[in-house]
A and B are shown apart, each in its own frame.
Chain A
Amino acid sequence: MPETDVTEAARAPGRKQEETLETRAASTGSSLANSRRRAKTIEAKHVDLYYGAFQAVEGVTMTIEPNKVTALIGSSGCGKTTFLRSLNRMHELTPGATVKGGITLDGEDMYAPGVDPVKVRRLVGMVFQQPNPFPTMSIYDNVAAGLNLNSRRMKKSDKDGVVERSLRGAHLWNEVKDRLDKPGSGLSGGQQQRLCIARAIAVEPEVLLMDEPCSALDPVATLAVEELISELKNHYTIVIVTHNMQQAARASDITAFFNLEESGKPGRLVEINETETIFTKPEQQATEDYVSGRFG
């Protein structure tokens, strides 16, 4: 099955939109909350991912557009999470895991020999499926963890500002502002996940990867996180992996469909296009079968 790149037509309107908004923001001098920060683009070219001798993902070529939400959908085991983890060099943390092919961040190859994976991960953040606040730290310290652990010396007042900004950005400030020194594990599931998102955005990455961020949450918390995602895309590039097709349809601008031919074979990118196109008139038969529920 041929893979499809994002078409020029799809890319062009996005770029035009950015320019207009940027010039408008520059001329009015509006605050960060209103302006659109141009985040980075990730390009993957013929990416193959292996766990030891087993090939999990084959020949993925796609572009992750800046300031857009890209959703990776597909049935279980087709390599979506593996591919996502290769975008911030977490895939290689599994013993025996290797990456072939090129992945670039705004044109810079992130797998080049001299590149420090720690630096890549500071630019490309990740939020996981299970909320995982650090249990030994308070809420404040959890949000500031990215700053403390990266040895960025900051004055206390600056750090307070960053923590408040991140918690406001994650729509969690009002709920926790009175108990910032309480442990992070005392929150509900949805609050914990928003705390993890606040922690991820506190270091101001360029790209935010989210691995099924709502699958462990109830519908109310899911809605809160989805609203958050649509706001965050103004400042960051977002990639989310989701099992939930309706969530992909609701929350994303671009959707990429991954599929396995049969189990034991590597997963491949079948089709990538604007979300509306994927869900209404997909080009590939397998995509149509998946989104209409005939399998998966």
Chain B
Amino acid sequence: MAPPTEKSPTGVELTTQPLALGPNGITGGTLPAWGQYAVIAGAVAFSVALLLAIGSFSVGLMLALTVVVACAGIYAWSRVVEGPRRALDRAVTLSIAAAFGLAMIPLFSLLFEVTKRGIPGLSAEFFTDDSRGVVGGGGAQHAIVGTLVITGVAVVISVPIGIMAAIYLVEYGTGKLRRALTFFVDVMTGIPSIVAGLFAYALFEIFFGPGVRMGVMGSVALSVLMIPIVIRSAEEVLKIVPKHLREAAYALGTPKWKTIVKIVLPTAFAGLVTGVMLATARVIGETAPLLVTTGVINSLNTDPLDGRMENLAVFAYSQYRSPGVDKMASYDLAWAAALVLIAIVMILNVVARLVYRRYKTEIR
């Protein structure tokens, strides 16, 4: 049967095809709101039953099978009720959610393991005592204090250099020198951390002779790793400050340096602080450079210029590598140190975000 025809206003014959729609024209059916959850639940039940029946049940297999069955199930059901386009949409959405879940598994597994194994190692002694004179066990106070001191000095070195370099790149740099600088900063972000450590060691060896170990050497190594990150994030934040704010200051007859100090930096302040905190969180756990620069020591040392200084990352490593008489106690300490390190990183991240939200300037 020929499709129905009609004529357009100018006399052209048009062929009208009935659209492949539901029985009510453009209104198709919809799955009920509980639909996709029912499918997922059904898939779980189905895969558990199937695997048990086969006899090879494992959580991983069950999850994989659930995802496959759920995607197929929701596609089939939705296709019948809603149409092929929405069916595909639902199936792909479900598989993307599953992929996200898969990506989250290592993260949660890590957090779970570290917490589970680290908690037994935590104690009052852990936080208040060092390991001097102990052949297994003891505390990690020297490591915690050492991490804070070394990272603190690294921040003091990196922040002025990084922010001033970013100001140069954004406000003053032109042409070839700026492009060269940007290129080298990009290269520096990829420096392996052990190379940074060896650089710091070699630098201090020139002045102090071979075998020198100092807390500040670790700070220098960490700065080499931190500075490019600070520069990159500060550059982005300074670029976001709108040009019209600078122009308003220039139009009042303000010299350029004053505009930067009094207008641009305060406007970008929250972003700069966040960038520095995130850079700190990034380098605080670097082990390799600190091994060759700050060394391993059992007692508390708070002077970055005086000999070896312990830190959490190296502490965890050395407790694992060379445990004392009581192996389990040493391993517990290692896990506890790792837990404390993760906790510090998390706190830095959270505080960075809170600071940003509290202090950011809304630019209309």
Contacts and interface: CB of A to CB of B under 8 A. Distances in A.
B250 A121 contact: yes
Given A130-B244, A134-B245, A135-B364, A149 B252 contact: yes
A264 to B, nearest CB: 26
A229 B254 CA distance: 24
A290 B263 CA distance: 41
A95 B178 CA distance: 14
B6 interface: no
Interface in A75-110: 88, 90, 93, 95
A213 to B, nearest CB: 13
A110 to B, nearest CB: 13
B114 to A, nearest CB: 41
B226 to A, nearest CB: 27
Interface residues of B, number: 24
Interface residues of A, number: 31
24 contacts: A93-B247, A118-B253, A118-B254, A121-B252, A125-B251, A125-B252, A126-B251, A127-B251, A128-B244, A133-B248, A134-B249, A134-B263, A135-B245, A135-B364, A136-B269, A148-B262, A149-B252, A149-B258, A149-B259, A149-B263, A150-B252, A150-B254, A200-B251, A203-B253
B248 A134 contact: yes
A128 B243 CA distance: 12
Contact of B364 (A125, A136, A185): A185
Interface of B: 174, 242, 244-245, 247-255, 258-259, 262-263, 266-267, 269, 361-364
A276 B263 CA distance: 43
A149 B250 contact: no
A90 B252 CA distance: 11
Interface string A138-158: 000000011011110000000
B253 A136 contact: no
Interface of A: 88, 90, 93, 95, 118-123, 125-128, 130, 132-136, 145-146, 148-151, 185, 196, 199-200, 203
A151 B263 CA distance: 14
A199 B244 contact: no
Contacts of A122: 252-253
A118 to B, nearest CB: 5
A136 B266 contact: yes
A136 B267 CA distance: 6
Which of A93, A132, A185 has the most C-beta atoms of chain B within 10 angstroms of its own C-beta?
A: A132
A196 B269 CA distance: 23
Contacts of B263: 134, 136, 149
A121 B258 CA distance: 15
Contact of A146 (B174, B247, B252, B259): B252
B174 A95 contact: yes
A90 B248 contact: no
B252 A132 contact: no
Nearest to A142: B248
Contacts of B362: 135, 185
B247 A203 contact: no
Contact of A203 (B174, B248, B252): B252
Nearest to B245: A132
Contacts of A130: 244
